[in-house]
């Protein structure tokens, strides 16, 4: 029984793409940014990643249908610019082993495309609300930092570590010879969703990827995202309740 | 060493059955409903599912004999109506990986019978006591929701997620091409057992499965179930005590 | 890499023995009782069981040498009475999966000897101090309970479940066709060691196994055991301290 | 997918070396001592150990580049004295199974060199600040304790257990026939870094290994180490914050 698996509807058909990861996490900066890219750039969905290490929940959609937690894989073919591969999703692993296993599975997929760059996206909680959030950068090696000079990325910061997929994918990728950068949107940390941090990251990506993003959709997307996140918050409340139930119920969950 | 295994006393001998799952969980709505069906419909027991991912406890029966935690598998052959397969039991997995592994094992068994429909049953805790509990529905796809119009299932609700086996079995089943529905009995969430929610679910099942249930047995069954659940509550108290003991005792359990 | 392994210095050379298990647990009733039997009956040590699922600690002996946590396996050959196999040790698994894996490994060893009976020993915490502790019995099937009528075992009790190895070994053994009994010494539950409960269990074993135990050694053994247990208590204190350290230290343990 | 792996840049080229382990832990005594040896003795780096059982974090260096958690392996060839192999690193496993798996991987590497002695290093928290910290010794067997008489190692102490890698490597090594010692620097336990305890351990190692250490570098090293440890402390603060985020966020980590 395979505990983490990628199901491709079609083989990735890109050349030396920029690979971009954004999964659920602090302020949902990663997930929301990459979801916006996928939407706005007309990305083509090519597959999904499922893992036994995700939390054992299923999502109920607005249509009252069930959805397994998963990560979605997209490709964007561009004529005069680098191709793009995206992975975006509503779950990360729930155990240490799971985090490493999922990150390695993703790197194995990415390796097949010989990516030009790996870009991972997350939020960095500072505990403070700021008017104009920064985008902090962490790279696979310092030699590529000048590459990003024009993209308004801050390399003077106090970030000491990266938790979860964004760090592991960049770090494992580095060990296998792929250069890349982690973009961390500055966010208070206590916000479930942070549109401002997301916009800051999108501005940076716009420059890095030579995009011309239409931000008029952002408000809509942010609203949509907030609906989803409100739902996730309800899930979390239910989860706490289940936890209590679990404690009073032999550890069996509904 | 196989960590989750199904032991069949006899092969399943049904055709395109309706598969119904109900395991220990919130308000024990799932387990109690399916146990009632098994009892009332003269279901034939065909096997059991055991897992290393269940909690490491054993049950002591009223006869002072030991029973491993397990899920029981039954079949019901019907002449002019769809056959039925039931899985009912006193345990769900205690880890994320375990939840996925057990759900996949169950789906693998079910797949062999090419089920017409998958029905999973649980409780949904609302935090409030209601006079006339609803049965909330979540389906594998919205196209089949009209099928259940006459069965008094509520599709207007705030359920955002399903925890554990009921959601995973429906979701994994959906991915493999099987349509189905999760029935969630509205329950306060703080009741160990909720006969009213169970009766509401049974009413729905009666309609869905074209049954003519004799509810006179329900009172008895509910009483029986409450005896069992009182026992489970004692277990849980003991468990808390063991946990304390464990904390004061190097993590070794009796 | 084998995660649970039994290392036998010599093959078990017994016929249809009574197999007795007593591991660290509530009141250390199981471990202390079986250690006393091993000592008093001149048991021959034949091997050890190690597991990756034990807590990741090592014991420091009085001689300031290191000892891995382990379970010891002994045999006792008797001329006119049933042979005996003992497993005694200072650790149980620390995860659900580990509990099941270790219990199955033990059953596999025991199966080779075609045991006449399986006897598992633990403590049952009642929260109350009693003058004359009972020995509660739980059997694999009720038909063998009369066998133990003369052994002063109480079958009227409120035990609803058994936590850990004692229940799993009896339950898995039952599923494979071996009859047996779990003896639970009544103990307050908050005592790290309970010599009285241990003596009650030893009295029962004396009758069951047709032994003539010399209890003069018990005081000494109890004292010795209490020294060990005081050490274990220190370990637990250190463990709490380490846990605090761990919380303030990235989860790295010394 | 291999969950713990050693990547050697070159084969170990030593004969019957002394193997020394020092990983992140209480007071970081082990890690800091062995890092100092590696630095001061011009150790040659030969490889690294990675594990899925490490915490799922990545370190951000001062150059704002990403580093996976890992353990570094070094060798020191000496003409008239015993060769030395060192393993030093910023992570230990985060699960029981992981601790055993990593320790066995290390022993397997060490076994290839037929080590003369295994030396593991950690801190022992006493809860008290002392002027002149002791170095407590725990050996694989008592017969080798006199060997260390001149090295100022205390064998009169209250250490009852060793948590994590230092104990497991010594214990598993012992079971495979390798003699050794665990050195535990006396430390308050609440200090993230304890230079005094580290110096005490280095004094002992200097004698044991027939070294002539230049302690002038120690101040610098301690300062450097404190910078790193301050960073680790920030990580831990972030980790607590993430944990809170995780609790309010479906268990998904950034």
Instruction: Record the tokens describing residue D171, joined without a space.
Output: 């214990």
Position B30 confidence tier, pLDDT thresholds 50, 70, 90: very high
B232 touches chain C (CB under 8 A): yes
Dihedrals φ, ψ of D227, to 5°? -65, -45
pLDDT at C221: 54
- Between the alpha carbon of residue B139 and those of residues A8, A67, A238, B122, B205, the distances in Å are 25, 10, 20, 13, 15
Instruction: Record the tokens describing residue B21, joined without a space.
Output: 């799952």
* Residue C158: other Cβ atoms inside 10 A: 11
Residues of D in contact with C60 (CB under 8 A): 138, 159-162
pLDDT at A239: 53
pLDDT at C250: 31
Q: Report helix, strand and coil shares of chain A as percent, to nearest 5.
A: 40, 25, 35
Reported as a single tens digit per residue, the pLDDT across A227-241 is 655 665 665 565 555
Reported as a single tens digit per residue, the pLDDT across D100-120 is 999 999 999 999 999 999 999
pLDDT at D213: 83
Q: How far is residue D57's CA from residue D65's CA, in Å, rounded to a whole number? A: 14
**What ipTM describes this predicted complex?**
0.86
Alpha-carbon gap: A199 to the closest alpha carbon of chain B (Å): 27
Average pLDDT of the segment spanning C67-71: 97
DSSP labels for C40-76?
A: HTTPEEEEEEEETTS-SEEEE-TTSBEEE--EEEEEE
> Which of D16 and C225 is assigned the larger pLDDT?
D16
Stated as kind and residue range, the H or E segment containing A136 is: strand A135-139
Residues of A in contact with D67 (CB under 8 A): 171
Q: How far is residue A170's CA from residue A181's CA, in Å, rounded to a whole number? A: 7
Position A224 confidence tier, pLDDT thresholds 50, 70, 90: low
Q: What percent of chain B has pLDDT over 90?
A: 72
> Which of A215 and C49 is assigned the larger pLDDT?
C49
Nearest CA in chain B to C136: B64
Instruction: Record the tokens describing residue A180, joined without a space.
Output: 């890349």
Annotated domain spans of chain B: 4-218
Identify the CA nearest to D183 among candidates D201, D160, D158, D209.
D201
pLDDT averaged per 10 residues in sequence order, chain D, 254 residues? 93 96 94 93 97 97 97 96 96 95 97 96 90 94 92 94 97 97 92 85 94 75 59 59 41 30
Return the partners of chain D (3 or more C-beta pairs < 8 Å). A, C
Q: How far is residue C41's CA from residue C78's CA, in Å, rounded to a whole number? A: 10
Is the pLDDT at B157 greater than 80, yes or no? yes
Rounded to the nearest integer, the mean pLDDT of chain D is 88
Q: How far is residue A129's CA from residue D44's CA, in Å, rounded to a whole number? A: 47
pLDDT at A145: 95
CB contact under 8 A, C57 and D166: no
Architecture (CATH level 2) of domain D4-218: 3-Layer(aba) Sandwich (3.40)
Position B248 confidence tier, pLDDT thresholds 50, 70, 90: very low
Is the pLDDT at A81 greater than 90, yes or no? yes
DSSP D65: B
User: What is the reported pTM?
Assistant: 0.87
Q: How far is residue B202's CA from residue A11's CA, in Å, rounded to a whole number? A: 47
C243 touches chain D (CB under 8 A): no
Position B240 confidence tier, pLDDT thresholds 50, 70, 90: low
Identify the CA nearest to C241 among candidates B196, B103, D158, A83.
D158
Q: How far is residue C88's CA from residue C34's CA, in Å, rounded to a whole number? A: 6
C54 touches chain D (CB under 8 A): yes
Measured in whole angstroms, how far is the alpha carbon of residue C159 from the centre of its chain? Answer: 18
Give the sign of the dihedral formed by CA B229, CA B231, CA B234, CA B236.
Answer: negative
Q: Which of A166-175, C160-169, C182-191 has the lowest mean pLDDT?
A: C182-191
Position A250 confidence tier, pLDDT thresholds 50, 70, 90: very low
Q: How far is residue B221's CA from residue B39's CA, in Å, rounded to a whole number? A: 9
Listed in sequence order, the residues at least 6 apart from B86 whose beta carbon sits closer than 8 Å to its beta carbon are B19, B20, B21, B22, B34, B37, B38, B43, B72, B73, B74, B75, B76
* Residue C254: other Cβ atoms inside 10 A: 32
Is the pLDDT at C247 greater than 60, yes or no? no
* Residue C207: other Cβ atoms inside 10 A: 14
Minimum-distance CB partner of C3 among D55, D91, D97: D97
pLDDT at A131: 81
pLDDT at A51: 98
Position B253 confidence tier, pLDDT thresholds 50, 70, 90: very low
> Which of C215 and C249 is assigned the larger pLDDT?
C215
Residue contacts between A and B (CB atoms, under 8 Å): 143
Identify the CA nearest to A1 among candidates C37, C107, D118, B99.
B99
> Which of C175 and A131 is assigned the larger pLDDT?
C175
């Amino acid at each position: 029984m395979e505990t983490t698996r990628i199901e491709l509807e079609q083989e990735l058909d890109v050349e030396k793409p920029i690979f971009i990861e954004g999964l659920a996490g602090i302020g949902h900066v990663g997930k929301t940014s990459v979801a916006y890219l996928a939407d706005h750039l007309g990305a083509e969905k090519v597959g999904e990643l499922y893992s036994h290490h995700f939390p054992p929940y299923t999502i109920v959609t607005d249509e009252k249908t069930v959805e397994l937690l998963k990560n979605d894989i997209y490709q964007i073919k561009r004529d005069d610019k680098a191709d793009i591969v995206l992975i975006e999703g509503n779950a990360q692993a729930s155990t240490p082993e799971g985090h490493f296993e999922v990150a390695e599975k993703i790197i194995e997929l990415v390796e097949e495309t010989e990516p030009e760059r790996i870009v991972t996206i997350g939020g960095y909680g500072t505990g403070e609300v700021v008017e104009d959030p920064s985008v902090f950068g962490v790279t696979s090696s310092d030699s590529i930092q000048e590459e990003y000079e024009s993209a308004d990325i801050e390399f003077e910061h106090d970030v000491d570590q990266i938790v979860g997929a964004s760090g592991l994918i960049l770090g494992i990728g580095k060990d296998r010879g792929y250069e890349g950068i982690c973009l961390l949107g500055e966010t208070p940390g206590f916000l479930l969703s942070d549109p401002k941090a997301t916009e800051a990251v999108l501005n940076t990506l716009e420059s890095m990827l030579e995009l011309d993003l239409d931000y008029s959709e952002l408000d809509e997307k942010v609203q949509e995202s907030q609906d989803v996140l409100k739902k996730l918050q309800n899930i979390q409340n239910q989860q706490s309740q289940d936890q209590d139930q679990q404690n009073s119920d032999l550890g069996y969950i509904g």
